[in-house]
Structures are given as structure tokens and as C-alpha cells.
Chains A and B, each alone.
Chain A
């Protein structure tokens, strides 16, 4: 089971990142649990200071931008 965390305070980019990540997980056939982190302290605890941040299995894979679905599929595939 893969855990995918979306770090963001609820800005439009965070919602979009979640949509893209869900789509990527679905199309890659990965069984993933999605967690949304909106608390600023928890976001900072990941050493992320530009949202949206994407964390896959406790590893920060992208910050401050929206990756493409293809990129996320690659990260999920590891």
C-alpha cells in the first residue's frame, strides 16, 4: 500500500495536484491511500516551504509546482 500525501493550505494548485495524483494512481493501477496535510506546522515538518508538495511513502518528490500525471506515475512505479 502506497501512501500519497498532498501538502498544501488549500490553494487552487493543491486541489489540482490532488486530482492529477489520483488520476495518475488510478491509471497506473497503484493502490494508494491519499492524505491531505493542511496544517502549516505539519507541512513545515516535511521541510517543504513552497506548496503544493507531493510526498510519496514519506519521501518529498516535488514542491512548489504541479507535476504531470506521467511524472507521478514514474514516482509511484518505484
Chain B
């Protein structure tokens, strides 16, 4: 009985700490950005670089860009993947798109950065980009005969002109600024400019009450909840209620609840940027530079958003709300479960299995990633748990590369589109490259000299370039490309 209570307390504590500390400043803007990308970036602006006649030097980077900018949900991923493979640039770019999408999208990157650190997010981004293109090229080389079987299709599917409007571009940029202003840990953002002391004698009692409920223990990776954190949880709850009433039917027009939800979201971001320190006489409110940066970004966002046509901003809010509704409940459950499980796992097990950076540890991490299936983004709090329990950062990255790319669900989906032989090759390549990525990053964390790693990576890039040239030569020899007859 006591064990059960301990487990539940662990889960609830983990959840409260996450909601209070991490989620808001990164996830709130990230959801809005994902919604805007989905609703405001015209797909032809990127997909026209993915047509059948595009040279690989353009198609592969374009596929990666599509993965990171367009593919925020399976609604886009599956048709676009099948479309690139069958009617567009072919197998290689389709694989690059598929591999890079889960690691390169804005939600995954900002969430990884907030929970595991910016350096880790950067490593995840760079290595998945590099290896995504590598896997795409290898697949195209291995299966080049099949790829040449493309039936004669016109390029119309991926043609079409479209560019990002000024207002939509402004919205995206100011939201990106908002995300950075809220999360970067730089001097002018963190320095306190003004401090105001409020006579709120209950503040300290409330803080000790909170610490009683959610204990703070850095050694066990427990984070606790601050007075500010409790305000954030309350605001988050209010946003949830008003968003439910205001955004559910947003495509047919806005109502009063819509504006309530949006104003609350802005207020939440501003409150999150403050620093609240409870003491014996009351509560000190410190205003760091971050408040001004966040406020300015919100102002810019408002300026550009007002210029959007009604259809566009409604679609934007709808997509944002849809992502929240689709991902957030699973994330909440996932974080809770991670909190429960953390109480059960002994750190010694993790340290014995993956405490060092060697091939075995990286392989174990990848195997775990392949056989476990976590819903979107839940892999990140799981990774955090492993980090706290003593997993080495190298195998941790290997796990993070393999887990979202390879789940049973995605393997079935890929097999339906490209067949079993190619799927098997893809799975093997992802496993291999994830292990390599883990070893590389782990060596770098352990302080290996930057020279050999840079040398290895640039060697890899050079190999890729040679493969690219070979592929292009093969393709143009084997398929008479449309438009080259003239």
C-alpha cells in the first residue's frame, strides 16, 4: 500500500514539476509555431523542389526542410512521404524526409532543448540531418534499380508557385523570437533590472506547503514546485478551459473565449518570464530583461497576426489547438508514468547497462528505442529519466535518434508504401547510424579532441558528396528525364 502511494506521489510530483517548470516557456510558443507552420507555410513553396526532375543536390536538402517545416503531423507525413517516393524525387529523398521529420520539427527541438539542454538539442538536430541525408543516399544507391522504374509521370503534383506572405513570415519570425526570448539563458535576459517587494505574508507558507507536497531533491532528479510554478499550473488550467470553449469551433469564427484563451496565454508567458522569490515579509517580484524581450516579441506577433486574412489566422489557431489536443494529453500521461517508473528503476541497472559510451551500451539503447513505443514527444521525458539515473549522454542520444524514427506503427506504415525488403534495409541503417551518432556524441561529451571527430564527420560528408555524384550520374544515364529531350 505504501509502495503504491509512493509510486503515485512520484508520478504526480514529476507531472507538477514539469508543468510548472519546463512546459510553458518552450511548449506554449512551440505549439503555436507548429500550428502556424502547418497552416501558413504554403506547401508548394517547399514541395516544388521535390519534383521528379530535381537534381539530388537540391532534392535531399529540400526533403530535410520539408521534414522539419511541413511534417508536424501524420496528416502530412504519410501522403508527402508516399508522394515523394512514387511521384516525386524518389526513394532517397523520401527516406531523408521520413528520418529527419521526428527529430527536426520545432516541437521536438524546443522540447529537447528545454528538458535535456540546448547542446543536446543541437547535437540531435545536426546528427539527424547529416545521417538522414546519408540514409536517404544509401537507400537510393542500394535500390537504384527499383528507383529507375518510376512510371512516366508528369511533374504537376509537385509543381506550382507559392511563397510565404509578409504577414505570415512576420508571424513565424516573431514567434521564433518569442521562443528564444523565453528559453535562452543569456546575460541581458537573465539579469534583474527591477525588484519590487510585495507584502504578501502567505507566500512563504505556501512555498513550504508546495515543497511538502512535491519534495525537492536534486540528487534524485526531483525538481519541486515553486510559488511561481503553482501560478503557472493554475494559468495553464484556465487556458485549457477557455481554449476548449474558444478554439473547438474556430474555423467558423472566434468568440469571447477565444480571446480569453489568447490573452491568458500571453499573460502566462509574461508571468513565466518573471522571477518570484518568497521570503519572510512577503514576495519579491524581480523583472529580468527576459520580460521586456518576451513582451516585445508578443507585441510584434500581434502586429503581424492582425494583418493575416481571417481564414489564415483561424486555420492557424485551429492547427495549434489540434496539436495541443492531440499531443498534450499523451504527454501529461507519459510524464506521469515516467514519474512512477522512476521510483522502480535502480540507478545501478542503468549505469551497468549504459553508463559508459561503448558499442554495447549504444546498441542496447537503440534496441530499447526500437522495441519501446512512446507517443510523440514522450521520448524526451523518458530520456531525461535515463539521464538522471546515470545513463551516459552518448547512448542517450542513440536512443533518442532511434526511438521516434522506428516504432512498430511507423515500420508498418513504411512497409505499406515501400515494401518489406526496403523497410528492412531502412531499419538496419537507422539502427547502425543511431549507434554511430551515439558513439560520436558520447566521445565528444567525454572530451575527445574535436579534431578526429571533425575529421571523421567531414570524411563522412565527403563520402556522401561522392555518392551523390555517382547517384546523379546513374540516374541520368538510366532514365531519360523529361525535359532533357529538347
Contacts and interface: CB of A to CB of B under 8 A. Distances in A.
Interface string A19-33: 010000000000000
B75 A49 contact: no
Interface in B227-250: none
A69 B252 CA distance: 8
A51 B79 contact: yes
B39 interface: yes
Contacts of B83: 44, 49
B86 interface: yes
B464 interface: no
Residues of B contacting A: mostly = helix
A48 B79 contact: yes
Given A9-B75, A40-B416, A68-B252, A49 B157 contact: yes
A47 B156 contact: yes
A47 B322 CA distance: 25
Given A49-B157, A50-B79, A66 B315 contact: yes
Contact of B47 (A14, A40, A49): A49
A44 B325 CA distance: 28
Contact of A65 (B156, B157, B315, B416): B315
Interface string A32-51: 00000000110110011111
Given A8-B75, A9-B79, A50-B43, A44 B87 contact: yes
B409 to A, nearest CB: 12
Given A13-B322, A64-B43, A50 B76 contact: yes
A9 B409 CA distance: 14
Nearest to A23: B252
Nearest to A43: B79
A13 B152 CA distance: 32
Residues of A contacting B: mostly = loop
Interface residues of B, number: 27
Contacts of B87: 44
A14 B75 CA distance: 8
Contacts of A50: 43, 75-76, 79-80
B72 to A, nearest CB: 12
Contact of A52 (B39, B75, B252, B311): B75
Nearest to A64: B43
Nearest to B88: A49
Among A41, A47, A50, chain B packs the most CB atoms within 10 A around the CB of: A50
Contacts of B318: 66
B87 to A, nearest CB: 7
A70 to B, nearest CB: 8
Interface in B324-349: 325-326
B76 to A, nearest CB: 6
Given A11-B75, A40-B417, A49-B80, A20 B322 contact: no
Nearest to B252: A68
16 contacts: A9-B79, A12-B326, A14-B75, A40-B416, A40-B417, A44-B86, A44-B87, A49-B79, A50-B75, A50-B76, A51-B75, A64-B76, A65-B39, A68-B251, A68-B311, A69-B252
Interface of A: 8-9, 11-14, 20, 40-41, 43-44, 47-52, 64-69
